[in-house]
Structure 1
Amino acid sequence: MCPPGKELPALGASSSPEEADAGDLLNEAETSQRVSNSPGSAWIGMGKPACSESPGQLENPSFFLRALFLLLFCGHVSSQCKILRCNSEYVAATLNLRGSNRNAAYCNALRSYSHCTRKTARTCRGDLAYHSAVHGIEDLMIQNNCSKEGPTSPPRPRPPAPNHQGFESLDICNYEKSFLYKHGQPPSYQHCAAFGDPHIRTFHDDFHTCRVEGSWPLLDNDYLFVQATSSPVAKGSNATVTSKLTIIFKNMKECIDQKVYQAEIDNLPAAFEDGSVNGGERPGGSSLVIRERSPGQHVEIQAEYIGTTIAVRQAGRQLSFSIRAAEEVARAFTEEQDLQLCVGGCPRSQRISRSECCRGRVATETARALCKELLPVEDVYFQSCVFDVVTSGDANFTMAAHGALEDARVFLPNAEKLHIFQAGAGCPHISSSFLLLLLTSGLWAVLLHF
């Protein structure tokens, strides 16, 4: 019978947090599997009865079940007794014994087991599981002709101490992984673009066409500063295009040195201003890289440390800018940094209507036909294309709108937001069927009048 006053924990349970170290306690499934694979290991701290059993009896399932029953009801371990740790180390040492030196290795494990029990003898003096282990070790050493003196198994390596800084210290320059570690879910992203006249698609999916001649900030936050310089698309025109882009990746101590990228019309470099193509010599320098997608036409900059990707393109006589930024990064600015076209769009005084394109250098129908080839959906990208071609007379502007749409297709986290439709935003287009409808309505009005 079990000693009075003892609680009856489940097999492998521990009344001490220290006893419950990961990897130290065994569940029933592990125990039964290990028992069948180790010489003489049908007994694991099961007590004196093992000495009267033959090796064949030790492998008998009924013997193991009786021993298991004993541990289940009498295997209580005091808060100081470390016998479960000794048991688990013994099982780990005998789990995968192979080869000709299997018996010698098994004897080493038994000697280690014996040393472990001696170390905990003082605190386990009144513990039944401890005494079962001591007697069982003696029996197994006799059965396997093991000497009491000799080499022991090397100590099992302890698991590394937990890193309290966690993922942050290991992958602080990988924004997505770090965010997932902190919040348990991937980050949200936002998209902004400036192309053509320029037309601005903000982080909030507003769409403006702007005159904004001169230099204006597209972004100005704790991590990025992006400035676009615009000039008139044609002499005497109110419409402007982006002729220069300056992008500053602000210094981030753990990851990158400050890097500056500048592009101008007919000069789209595949390197930062200092000639480098990454974030510098810091450990996280590779988390900022620049790649040339199409020589002189398309450059992509990946800033992994802030979860941001930027595309810079040239089409015709204008530059375009697209960005996919982590929402947390896009919002990292103060009240003083309120003028950002990607955040608030164009100031009201700088907005122009795309219907003004009807007074341009190319006929509206011709522009629509050109834009339709690359932009079959008549959304704001199509309307902007028509505006740019009519105003500038340059058919290459169809490529600007198409490139912006392709960037949006890649960068937008929600494909349903790809197309934006604004009523009355494009040039008026009167089809022949609509003219016929007007004519018919006019005739009916005349007939009714008479």
Structure 2
Amino acid sequence: MGKSACSKSPGRWEHPGFFLRALFLLLFCRHVSSQCKILRCNSEYVAATLNLRGADRSAGYCDALRSYSRCTRRTARTCRGDLAYHSAVHGIEDLMIHNNCSKEGPTSPPRPRPPAPNHQGLEPLAMCDYEKSFVYKHGQAPSYQHCAAFGDPHIRTFHDDFHTCRVEGSWPLLDNEYLFVQATSSPVAKGSNATVTSKLTIIFKNMKECIDQKVYQAEIGNLPAAFEDGSVNGGERPGGSSLAIRERSAGRHVEIRAEYIGTTIAVRQAGRQLSFSIRAAEEVARAFTEEQDLQLCVTGCPRSQRISRSECCRGPVAADVARALCKEMLPVEDVYFQSCVFDVVTSGDANFTMAAHGALEDARVFLPNAEKLHIFQAGAGCSRVSSSSFLVLLLTSGLWVVLLHF
């Protein structure tokens, strides 16, 4: 019978790559005692030579071999009689001859130790970068969630539920340890059953290491690119720049980045309505108590406030006209398209197409999983009704001006 792979004499290896493969084989041999640390020497040599490239490759091998030899000498006393140890010693001699390495000279630098699993070593500014801090503590990137409120209004929750609501007055979209967001809804016009978001209030709560409390308010006709106090960042604290606001499109689109909590918010205005979209770190989105149970982004609309989009076929605009308008901006007939048709039919305002389109574009940017971009709900759309009023609506709504602008 032949000898096992772990008991073969190493002989003279003519190429470093063969020696590396032999080392990996030795790692699986079970003849190494608990005191012998030869496996640690092997792994350090493999790590030092794994990525050697270019003109300095030969010198790098020599440095690694000298380090390897020094490591084996340190463990010689506890590894006497160990096959893996003796194989390594003979292999080092062969490789040093093969690579014309001198026994004296520089060695490979030791591998840096990984950081301790806590965040006390973080610099103050790094503590105000949520993603970097999360990776430091957990060794992986954080998970994110998306919520949106737009149109009449329609709510896409953090859990990808989609509701159309009859809410009027002020309702909290978010209420947690870090953020408070309140939306105020009003009728589109006097006597109309359709409502839109007419005001948004966003409070970034005080965070000692990073920002002062900041309040942002937007109303129809007033979409400021600054917080209420006139500032555009988180204040004078060292991490103040981790909260910043910028204008993406004058009077129509504002973006607020809160890096200290891994959150980005978009506020838009389309016609006489506001919309809200957020990408929030999952840990931040879940940071609330049982008392903070009413949050439209978390639970959606209360059941008593939900309405079906299939009930939209009565209004100042026929369904087929609304479908044609929405199809121009939203070619996929998903819930964004269905919501657009619902809003145009019930309100007679073609600007609702821009609101749904903006919400879809925000979702495209904010959603961590692109496969969840489109949501389809059976029986949620309006049926087609014949009409010849498409051109009349297009001209009277002023939508042609918006389309030319874009």
The TM tier, using the shorter chain, reads 0.5 to 0.7
2:148 touches 2:278 (CA, 8 Å); kept in 1? Answer: yes
Taking the aligned partners of 1:108 and 1:350, their CA distance within structure 2 comes to: 72
1:262 touches 1:273 (CA, 8 Å); kept in 2? Answer: yes
2:14 touches 2:95 (CA, 8 Å); kept in 1? Answer: no
Q: Does 1:436 align with 2:392?
A: yes
2:119 touches 2:133 (CA, 8 Å); kept in 1? Answer: no
In structure 2, relative to structure 1, the CA distance for the partners of 1:289 and 1:437 (3 Å cut) is closer
Aligned partner (choices 164, 168, 181) of residue 209 of structure 1: 164
2:127 touches 2:260 (CA, 8 Å); kept in 1? Answer: yes
Q: 1:122-164 deviations in whole A, cap 9, x for unaligned?
A: 9999999999999999999999999999999999999999997
**Structure 1 length normalisation: TM-score?**
0.61
**Structure 2 length normalisation: TM-score?**
0.68
Report which stretch shifted further, 264-273 or 120-129: 120-129
Q: 1:276-302 deviations in whole A, cap 9, x for unaligned?
A: 000001110000000000000000000
1:416 to partner: Cα distance: 0.4
2:263 touches 2:280 (CA, 8 Å); kept in 1? Answer: yes
Aligned partner (choices 62, 67, 80) of residue 107 of structure 1: 62
1:183 to partner: Cα distance: 1.1
Q: 1:219-276 deviations in whole A, cap 9, x for unaligned?
A: 0000000000001123223321000000000000000000000000000000000000
1:50 touches 1:139 (CA, 8 Å); kept in 2? Answer: no
Residues 144-223 of structure 1 correspond to what in structure 2 (within 5 A)?
Answer: 165-167=120-122, 169=124, 171-223=126-178
Taking the aligned partners of 1:448 and 1:93, their CA distance within structure 2 comes to: 61
2:6 touches 2:29 (CA, 8 Å); kept in 1? Answer: no
SS in structure 2 at match of 1:273? coil
Report which stretch shifted further, 422-431 or 69-78: 69-78
Report which stretch shifted further, 63-72 or 402-411: 63-72
Identity within the alignment, %:
90
Q: 1:77-131 deviations in whole A, cap 9, x for unaligned?
A: 9999999999999999999999999999999999999999999999999999999
2:394 touches 2:400 (CA, 8 Å); kept in 1? Answer: no
Taking the aligned partners of 1:132 and 1:399, their CA distance within structure 2 comes to: 72
1:165 to partner: Cα distance: 1.6
Q: Does 1:134 align with 2:121?
A: no
1:354 to partner: Cα distance: 1.2
The number of equivalent residue pairs is 405
Taking the aligned partners of 1:447 and 1:167, their CA distance within structure 2 comes to: 49
Q: 1:366-412 deviations in whole A, cap 9, x for unaligned?
A: 11101000100000000111111111111111000000000000000
1:355 to partner: Cα distance: 2.1
Q: Which structure has more RCO (C-alpha within 8 Å, separation ≥ 6)?
A: 2
In structure 2, relative to structure 1, the CA distance for the partners of 1:55 and 1:225 (3 Å cut) is closer
In structure 2, relative to structure 1, the CA distance for the partners of 1:428 and 1:293 (3 Å cut) is same
1:83 touches 1:117 (CA, 8 Å); kept in 2? Answer: yes
In structure 2, relative to structure 1, the CA distance for the partners of 1:162 and 1:412 (3 Å cut) is closer
2:118 touches 2:137 (CA, 8 Å); kept in 1? Answer: no
In structure 2, relative to structure 1, the CA distance for the partners of 1:78 and 1:257 (3 Å cut) is same
In structure 2, relative to structure 1, the CA distance for the partners of 1:275 and 1:75 (3 Å cut) is same
1:311 touches 1:321 (CA, 8 Å); kept in 2? Answer: yes
1:50 touches 1:58 (CA, 8 Å); kept in 2? Answer: no
1:354 touches 1:383 (CA, 8 Å); kept in 2? Answer: yes
Taking the aligned partners of 2:95 and 2:306, their CA distance within structure 1 comes to: 90
In structure 2, relative to structure 1, the CA distance for the partners of 1:126 and 1:339 (3 Å cut) is closer
Aligned partner (choices 18, 36, 39) of residue 84 of structure 1: 39
Superposition RMSD on alpha carbons, in Å? 11.1
In structure 2, relative to structure 1, the CA distance for the partners of 1:130 and 1:381 (3 Å cut) is closer
2:16 touches 2:95 (CA, 8 Å); kept in 1? Answer: no
In structure 1, stretches of 5+ residues that fail to align are 1-45
SS in structure 2 at match of 1:97? coil
